[in-house]
């Protein structure tokens, strides 16, 4: 893959994630990964534009303030499928046990259930809203949601990349015709598909993880 020479040093040009075996199993996975790559390229370009204006990205590896404080994170159904798949089939111990416990015990108002020891357990398939949230200037104070306290420091994602990412995801919902997809995006109807992350049924994901583990150990038990 050719690197984007205009990419931000703080947010390097991303490469598309690949899970070849899983992408062959799940027809929805390639479109999700394609959409995330489009969004990530847009974020890299957006951060680069801000840096050229003299602004400094405050977000750093290890910062998880937004994961603890944000209460209205939108997540689309295809993203929920991706997060469930990744949690069920890709997260290993010891993080797996902690994640499963947090999902099972999740209560609305808690920090994101995927935040384990300050790290996103499903970071490769985190939602678009998380990927696009970038803060400049000072780091977030404990308990602060800068989108509401200092909107001017929160990067506005480049609309073209957002629209293209959502356009790529729409066939999952049975909207395959390009004209219809464009209409849904232009009208904003696509956003009606989103749910608040806090209101999702996360205990059901913990159940899926348990079932996956049970099925994975069955052959060993028969031996």
If you write DSSP's letter for every residue of 107-174 in order, what string do you get?
Answer: -TTSSPTTEETTEETTGGG--HHHHH--BBSSPPPTT--HHHH-GGGB----HHHHHHHHHHHGGGGT
Put simply, whether the predicted model's pTM sits higher than 0.85 gets the answer yes
What confidence score (pLDDT) does residue 94 get? 97
Q: Say how far apart CA 88 and CA 207 lie, in whole Å.
A: 9
pLDDT tens track for 139-168: 888 888 888 899 999 999 999 999 999 999
Cα–Cα distance list, 25 to 20, 38, 122, 174, 219 (Å) = 9, 22, 19, 19, 21
pLDDT tens track for 49-85: 999 999 999 988 888 888 988 888 999 999 999 999 9
pLDDT tens track for 200-210: 999 999 999 99
Q: Which residues neighbour 35 within 8 Å (Cβ) at sequence distance 6 or greater?
A: 78, 128, 165, 166, 168, 169
What confidence score (pLDDT) does residue 8 get? 60
User: Three-state SS for 87?
Assistant: helix
Q: What one-character-per-residue DSSP string does 72-86 give?
A: --EE-HHHHHHHHHH
pLDDT tens track for 98-127: 999 999 999 988 999 999 999 999 999 999
Phi, psi of 201 (to 5 degrees): -85, 80
User: What is the maximum alpha-carbon separation in the chain?
Assistant: 64
């Amino acid at each position: 893959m050719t690197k984007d020479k205009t990419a931000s040093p703080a947010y390097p040009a991303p490469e598309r994630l690949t899970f070849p075996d899983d992408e062959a199993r799940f027809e929805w996975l390639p479109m999700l990964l394609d959409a995330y790559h489009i969004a990530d390229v847009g974020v890299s370009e957006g951060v680069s534009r801000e840096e050229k204006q003299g602004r400094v990205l405050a977000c750093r590896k290890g910062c998880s303030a937004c994961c603890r404080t944000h209460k209205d994170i939108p997540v689309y159904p295809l993203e929920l499928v991706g997060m469930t798949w990744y949690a069920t089939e890709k997260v290993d111990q010891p993080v797996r046990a902690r994640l499963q416990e947090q999902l099972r015990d999740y209560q609305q108002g808690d920090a994101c259930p995927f935040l384990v020891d300050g790290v996103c357990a499903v970071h490769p398939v985190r939602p678009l809203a998380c990927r696009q949230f970038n803060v400049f200037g000072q780091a977030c104070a404990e308990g602060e949601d800068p989108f509401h306290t200092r909107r001017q420091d929160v990067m506005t994602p480049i609309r073209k990349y957002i629209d293209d990412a959502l356009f790529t995801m729409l066939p999952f919902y049975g909207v395959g015709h390009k004209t219809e997809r464009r209409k849904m995006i232009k009208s904003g109807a696509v956003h009606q598909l989103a749910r608040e992350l806090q209101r999702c049924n996360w205990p059901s994901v913990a159940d899926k993880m348990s079932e996956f583990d049970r099925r994975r150990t069955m052959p060993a038990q028969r031996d």
